[in-house]
Amino acid sequence: QKVDSASVVPGLLSIFHEQELTETIHDTNGHGYLATFVGKNGRLVVLRVHSHGLVTIDLQCHEDDNIAQLDNLLNALENKLKVLLNGNITRIKRLPALVRGAKVDRYWPTADGRLVEYDVDEVVYEEDSAYQNIKILHSQQYGNILVLDGDVNLAESDLAYTQAITGNGRENYAGKEVLILGGGDGGILAELVKQKPKMVTMVEIDQKVIDGCKMYMRRTCGNTLDTLRGDCYQILIEDCVPLLKKYVQEGRTFDYVINDLTAIPISTAPEEDSMWEFLRLILDLSVRVLHPKGKYFTQGNSVNLKEALSLYEEQLGKLSCPVDFQKEVVCVPSYLEQWVFYTAWKK
């Protein structure tokens, strides 16, 4: 319902004045009421009364401010609003404080654009490589979290991701040849070597991702990243595209190709987005090095990005080698959203 600022604002002003906050009224050109209140201690309050009925109060303060005093101020404003509006309130809600400029950034967006606050308390590793910014953050809930260019990639809690991108226990990797594209956190490699494959070849372009993960993602990678070659695996530090093209020319095939390079682009203009071009190239080359009875595994993206997922499925239908596919939705703990995974195989 509409709110008359003339009846609401005077009742709130007395509370602001008690806190020795100086008022400045701003011209909204007829779009409700807007005022800012500044205190001697650096507090800033923004009061906005929208003509359609929404009343917002934003309080900014320094981290050393008196929290109990601030709570009392917010409680007083909330109680006064209830009185002034005579109980005609659809909803009243106080949101947790956002911490700006903290030593450790705790806010990261989900794939579909929602803001998530993580309980991170330390940056345990940060490097800028030739390819990306690499951070590993410590979370009390999720263990250490690998973040690449501001995108949450994997936490030590995220075994569900690794299981989903390797078939969720439905595959037998014993004696098989496997190609992993990306996977620098070592999670996929660590799970596969337990099953005694014939050989796993992991192709990761960024040595600095491996350097960070072998020190700070041990719950994910175990000791597999300590050396670039083991009894049943080898890690190649190079761009996977030239290598895939070389394998195609040689007629080399794998029982499994696991693409852990990147999520499906959020952009829904595949003809204009270079990431979609890259994705199509990797898809096509991966299927061409796949054994006739082999399987291709990859992540998709958030289940909420329906248009982008549909476009990806269209790309699967346009490959030079026809494929069938199925998808599975899995909850990855640190993503705080449902994630889609794909399995494809030659027709």
Neighbouring C-alpha atoms within 13 Å toward the C-beta of 304: 10
Angstrom distance (rounded) from CA 297 to CA 259: 6
| 3 state SS for 160-175 | HHHHHCCCCCCCCCCC
| Sole residue written with tokens 């008196």 | 66
Other CB atoms within 10 Å distance of the CB of residue 100: 9
260: annotated active-site residue: yes
* Options 185, 206, 255, 260, the catalytic residue: 260
Angstrom distance (rounded) from CA 336 to CA 329: 13
Written as six digits, the tokens of 25 are: 């009224």
Kindly report the CA angle at 154 between 187 and 285, in degrees rounded to 5? 65
Which helix (H) or strand (E) segment holds residue 254: the answer is strand 254-260
| Sole residue written with tokens 């990806």 | 312
Residues annotated catalytic, as ranges: 260
